[in-house]
Amino acid sequence: MSFSEDCIFCKIVQGQIPSAKVYEDEKVIAFLDLSQVTKGHTLVIPKRHEENVYELSEDSAKAVFTAVPKVAKALKAAFDPAGINMLNNNGKAAGQTVFHYHVHLLPRYGKGDGFG
């Protein structure tokens, strides 16, 4: 597995810093976002350090997007949201702050739920 030394998500993958895991398989991990923009806000990431969509390998892309519907269903079952947004920021100018590829899953509960 290839990790980056200063990457907070690589540290989460390696268990060096704690996270609230909601899903894990050989190539992917999903955990609750520290900031919880909405209840159940979750990040789905490849275990391999790949910075953004331009670096994302086909293998990681397949693994991440195979996991996404499973995680979305788990969030639906756990939180019963009215809807869900799937977001991905690439590059500082696009709002990326952690440079390890990740997909945000944002459960939505209607007006005033904290997002949008």
Applying CB under 6 A, among 34, 73, 78, 80 the residue interacting with ligand 5GP is 34
Q: Kindly provide the b/e burial profile for residues 41-75, where b requires at least 16 CB atoms within 10 angstroms of the residue's own CB.
A: bbbbbbbbbbbbeeebeeebeebbeebbeebbebb
Binds Zn ion (CB under 5 A): choice among 41, 48, 100, 102: 100
Residue from the set 27, 41, 48, 49 that interacts with Zn ion by CB under 5 A? 49
Task: Indicate the SS3 state at residue 107.
Answer: strand
Q: Please state, in angstroms and rounded to a whole number, the distance separating the CA atoms of residues 36 and 97.
A: 15
Q: How far is the CB of 20 from ligand 5GP (least distance, A)?
A: 7
- Asked if residue 95 binds ligand 5GP (CB under 6 A), the reply is yes
Q: Does 35 bind ligand 5GP (CB under 6 A)?
A: yes
Under the binding rule (CB under 6 A), the answer on residue 4 touching ligand 5GP is: no
Query: Is residue 49 annotated as part of the catalytic site, yes or no?
Result: no
Distances (CA, A) of 106 to 52, 74, 75, 84: 19, 13, 9, 5
Residues that bind ligand 5GP (CB under 6 A): 8, 19, 31-35, 89, 95-98
Which residues does the annotation mark as catalytic? Answer: 102
